[in-house]
């Protein structure tokens, strides 16, 4: 009986202890900003690299600051103005790169509300491998979105952003 108890206990530890995968929660001020991540996720990039990516969005950048739960999210995709507010509120957030510009009839508009950035929380930056894979997944998604069929598959509407590689 004692051996059976130990066997069940070891089996329980094996099942629950094998998953070291911690989810990476991403929030954005627009669902369209997530398209590169969605494309990479759809084509299996994050699964192949052992990253559990969870995507959430809010309707605009103003509600992003009210909605943001500082303990859950480790990545924010938002406009530059909101990013600066977030960095002032907490030193745990760092701007990593510019990810997009808002389009106006195929011409990018440049301003704080039209330039979009990726911010990472310091806890994710300490997980260097996951942070690098996240950026690689973004870049892979930007490349995938160059194909109009992928854009149509992931979004029924025209994409109002011009996406950029992060860190290149």
Which CATH number do you get for residue 126? Answer: 3.40.190.10
Residue 112 lies in a domain: yes
At residue 152, does pLDDT exceed 60? yes
Confidence of residue 60 (pLDDT cuts 50, 70, 90): confident
pLDDT of residue 57: 86
Q: CB of 96 within 8 A of CB of 118? A: yes
Please return the burial class of 125, using the count of CB atoms within 10 Å of its CB with bins 0-12, 13-18 and 19+: middle
Residue 104 maps to a domain: yes
Is residue 109 assigned to a domain? Answer: yes
Query: Range of 66's domain?
Result: 21-163
For the chain, what is the largest distance between any 2 Cα atoms, rounded to a whole number of angstroms? 74
| Share of residues in the chain with pLDDT > 70 (%) | 78
From the centroid of its chain, how far is CA 138? 8
Can you give the pLDDT at residue 62?
72
Position 13 in a domain: no
pLDDT at 91 over 50: yes
- Report the alpha-carbon distance of residue 158 to residue 2 in Å, rounded: 64
Query: Is residue 8 included in any domain, yes or no?
Result: no
Count of the separate structural domains present in the chain? 1
Neighbouring-strand partners of residue 76? 27, 119
Question: Is the pLDDT assigned to residue 29 strictly greater than 90?
Answer: no
Count of residues making up the chain: 168
Residue 6 has pLDDT above 80, yes or no: no
For residue 140, how far is the Cα from the chain centroid? 13
- Give the pLDDT of residue 37: 95
Split at pLDDT 50, 70, 90, the class of 18 is very low
Q: Classify the C-alpha dihedral 63-65-68-74 as positive or negative.
A: positive
Mean pLDDT is lowest, of 3-7, 56-60, 115-119, for 3-7
Query: Does 74 fall in a domain?
Result: yes
Helical packing angle, 128-144 and 35-42, nearest 10°: 90
Tens of pLDDT along 94-139?
A: 999 999 988 776 555 566 568 899 999 998 989 989 999 999 999 9
Mean pLDDT of 12-19: 50
In a domain? residue 64: yes
pTM of the entire structure? 0.79
93: tokens are 């957030």
For tokens 């991540």, name the residue: 37
Give domain status of residue 92, yes or no. yes
pLDDT of 168 reads 61
Question: Is 168 in a helix, a strand, or coil?
Answer: coil
C-beta separation of 37 from 137 below 8 A: yes
């Amino acid at each position: 009986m004692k051996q059976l108890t130990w066997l069940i206990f070891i089996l329980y530890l094996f099942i629950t202890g094998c998953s070291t995968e911690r989810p990476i929660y991403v929030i954005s001020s627009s669902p369209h900003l997530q398209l590169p991540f969605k494309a990479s996720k759809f084509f299996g990039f994050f699964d192949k690299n052992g990253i559990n990516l969870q995507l959430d969005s809010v309707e605009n950048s103003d509600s992003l600051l009210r909605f943001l739960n500082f303990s859950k999210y480790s990545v924010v995709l938002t406009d530059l103005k909101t990013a600066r507010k977030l960095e002032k509120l907490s030193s745990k957030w760092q701007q990593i790169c510019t990810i997009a510009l808002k389009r106006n009839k195929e011409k990018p508009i440049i301003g704080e509300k039209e330039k979009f950035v990726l911010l990472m929380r310091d806890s994710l930056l300490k997980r260097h491998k996951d942070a690098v894979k996240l950026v690689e997944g973004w870049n892979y998604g930007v490349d995938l979105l160059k194909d109009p069929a992928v854009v149509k598959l992931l979004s029924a509407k025209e994409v109002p952003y011009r996406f950029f590689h992060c860190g290149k």
